[in-house]
A and B are shown apart, each in its own frame.
Chain A
């Protein structure tokens, strides 16, 4: 159940494109595309950052959802698509941006219709973010804008005073008791904030279930929650209301991390690092 695990993040990714990426062709020689359609939340946001005015025609409907998208306000300026081949074809794009995790059928269909499709893998680290930005700059013919964004990102990362919280442990807890282990973006975010991810102590890699019992037993210094911010209720969020969880949250410092900062890796992911760093700082000031 990859969707359940990643919760909103994978859900968002899946709402757009195909599984088997064609080998990425260097996109240098071609002239800059003039009518770009993005059908994946992450490519939506990155394209909005990198594209020149007028170059990006449409983004996916998720880009306008403030829960998942950091750039929801900007998304209003573009046409909306729902990741379906027919509507995208009718937009007559000269480039389609998609993720690697969504319906292969749609991408294959678009390619057969002669449309160029570029697929982007989800970013699992800040290195991935830099690579994606660089590639986005290349396919959109805006390499300078991409380099500018990368420099910006590095500057803001450097501003976080790593080392202040040496040995402080943290656990990220998503809906349905999932946590992120090594090799995930949130793990890198924790490292950049100077925290030790408790999931890596259990040897977890990627998304794994962390039973409530084990969370209580591991007693992290900082309990980071995500996926809490939905208007409609679901059982998935009931875990956050469990008496044992609440008791642990009261013992640990608690930070609620809006999932939109980490669903997609992008320059704004630095905000997540800053929030965790801030939480750890507050925790240090008021220990158990």
Chain B
């Protein structure tokens, strides 16, 4: 089948791109360290400044780029498949904003300093609430419109509550960190963050990756999927829990990065023959590539400015989103 060959080639290219971008991410930084120097510092037993920079600053940054990007791509693909809607995305339906709120509450109340796991757990709980609320408002056969409206409502509310929590904090810096929570950044994240997020992301990925067949069947709607032996309640649980766990953990350590989960599945869908099951791994790799690339660009374009990642992803993603909405509208008309 020609379809399958094209798909496998796309997967191979995405793997290569992700790998290259991961390595590039390790090599880019204000301290201009040479190629071989940096790689040897990463793998040797050295304990000098360069080794410290590579292992404690750049490695966690690249790893988080990989993990967070993969999470966003994967969850975007799953949400689109599950809600049968190309406009679904963790940020758009309010999951990211809610996870931010959960994380903000855990951090700024000081809870996470006492009990570090409170951070990903709070983000997870808040994202579950967001998905459930959006789904309840949009209904089983929710139209594009109700879904987006519900997402906007949940996002705005969570965003406002985040701002409120940060403004009320007695720490004067807190109010300035709204940007981080709304736009996301990988700057100076450490291995601590990697270890904190990884178990939740792994659990989330495991849940989401089992959904391939169910999402394929859902192409024909919930009734047909159920008639094909898909346990819809299980699918709902796995989709909601998997998204909440992985996106929650990602947002808890890097803030909300928008549009990746929207754009990536969309661009890759044609290469997968429209099959959601094939889209899952492709979209995870694509998401990782996009976030790694964006994070490299942030460092190359304006190294002294600490640009937020979400700024870059929105510059590409927002016009794309508008185009999608326009196309959807035409289809409905």
Q: Do A and B bind each other?
A: yes
B171 an interface residue at 8 Å Cβ cutoff? yes
Q: Which of A141-149, A242-250, A265-273, A277-285 contacts B (4 or more CB under 8 A)?
A: A242-250
Contacts of B108 in A (CB 8 A): 232-234
Q: Which of A1, A175, A214, A230 contacts B31 (CB 8 A)?
A: A214
Contact call B173/A237, Cβ cutoff below 8 A: yes
> How many Å lie between the Cα of A241 and that of B116 in the bound state?
13
A212 an interface residue at 8 Å Cβ cutoff? yes
> How many Å lie between the Cα of A177 and that of B112 in the bound state?
22
Contact call A232/B176, Cβ cutoff below 8 A: no
Q: Which of B184-192, B218-226, B313-321 contacts A (4 or more CB under 8 A)?
A: B184-192
Contact call A176/B173, Cβ cutoff below 8 A: yes
A208 an interface residue at 8 Å Cβ cutoff? yes
**Number of interface residues, chain A, beta carbon within 8 A:** 35
A235 an interface residue at 8 Å Cβ cutoff? yes
Q: Which of B50-58, B238-246, B280-288 contacts A (4 or more CB under 8 A)?
A: B50-58
Contact call B49/A219, Cβ cutoff below 8 A: yes
- Could you mark each residue 180-204 of chain B with 1 if its beta carbon is under 8 Å from any beta carbon of chain A, else 0? 1000000010111000000000000
Which of B29, B53, B57, B173 has the most chain A CB atoms closer than 10 A to its own CB?
B173
Identity of the chain A residue whose Cβ is nearest the Cβ of B57 in the assembled complex: A244
Asked, given contacts A231-B170, A234-B169, A244-B57, whether A216 binds B49 with beta carbons under 8 Å apart, the answer is yes
Identity of the chain B residue whose Cβ is nearest the Cβ of A243 in the assembled complex: B56
Which of A3, A208, A231, A236 has the most chain B CB atoms closer than 10 A to its own CB?
A236
Contact call A213/B170, Cβ cutoff below 8 A: no
A159 an interface residue at 8 Å Cβ cutoff? no
Contact call A217/B49, Cβ cutoff below 8 A: yes
> How many Å lie between the Cα of A230 and that of B170 in the bound state?
8
CB within 8 Å of A: which B145-200 residues: 169-174, 176-177, 180, 188, 190-192
CB within 8 Å of B: which A1-25 residues: 1, 3-4, 7-8, 11
A209 an interface residue at 8 Å Cβ cutoff? yes
B231 an interface residue at 8 Å Cβ cutoff? no
Contacts of A209 in B (CB 8 A): 304-306
Asked, given contacts A213-B30, A213-B31, whether A242 binds B177 with beta carbons under 8 Å apart, the answer is no
B30 to chain A, nearest CB (A): 4
Q: Which of A1, A176, A219, A233 contacts B171 (CB 8 A)?
A: A233
CB within 8 Å of A: which B1-45 residues: 29-31
A211 an interface residue at 8 Å Cβ cutoff? yes
Identity of the chain A residue whose Cβ is nearest the Cβ of B176 in the assembled complex: A4
> How many Å lie between the Cα of A232 and that of B173 in the bound state?
10
A206 an interface residue at 8 Å Cβ cutoff? no
Contacts of A211 in B (CB 8 A): 29-31, 303
B107 an interface residue at 8 Å Cβ cutoff? yes
**Number of interface residues, chain B, beta carbon within 8 A:** 32
Q: How many A-B residue pairs have CB under 8 A?
A: 99
Contacts of A248 in B (CB 8 A): 52
Contacts of B177 in A (CB 8 A): 234-236
A210 to chain B, nearest CB (A): 9
> How many Å lie between the Cα of A208 and that of B306 in the bound state?
11
Contacts of A232 in B (CB 8 A): 108, 110, 169-171, 174
A239 an interface residue at 8 Å Cβ cutoff? yes
> How many Å lie between the Cα of A63 and that of B173 in the bound state?
18
Identity of the chain A residue whose Cβ is nearest the Cβ of B303 in the assembled complex: A211
Which of B50, B172, B191, B303 has the most chain A CB atoms closer than 10 A to its own CB?
B172
A90 to chain B, nearest CB (A): 26
Contact call A7/B190, Cβ cutoff below 8 A: no
Contact call B53/A244, Cβ cutoff below 8 A: yes
B26 to chain A, nearest CB (A): 12
Contact call A244/B176, Cβ cutoff below 8 A: no
> How many Å lie between the Cα of A52 and that of B323 in the bound state?
69
B113 an interface residue at 8 Å Cβ cutoff? yes
Contact call B176/A216, Cβ cutoff below 8 A: no
Contact call A236/B29, Cβ cutoff below 8 A: no
Contacts of A213 in B (CB 8 A): 29-31, 53, 57-58
Asked, given contacts A214-B30, A232-B110, A233-B107, whether A243 binds B176 with beta carbons under 8 Å apart, the answer is no
Asked, given contacts A3-B176, A243-B190, whether A235 binds B57 with beta carbons under 8 Å apart, the answer is no
A→B interface (CB under 8 Å): 1, 3-4, 7-8, 11, 175-177, 208-209, 211-214, 216-217, 219, 227, 230-239, 241-244, 247-248
With contacts A176-B176, A244-B52 known, what are 7 further pairs, Cβ within 8 A? A1-B176, A177-B306, A213-B31, A227-B173, A234-B108, A236-B177, A247-B56
What are 15 A-B pairs at a CB distance below 8 A?
A: A4-B173, A8-B172, A8-B173, A177-B188, A209-B304, A213-B31, A214-B31, A217-B53, A227-B173, A230-B170, A232-B170, A234-B108, A234-B171, A243-B190, A243-B191
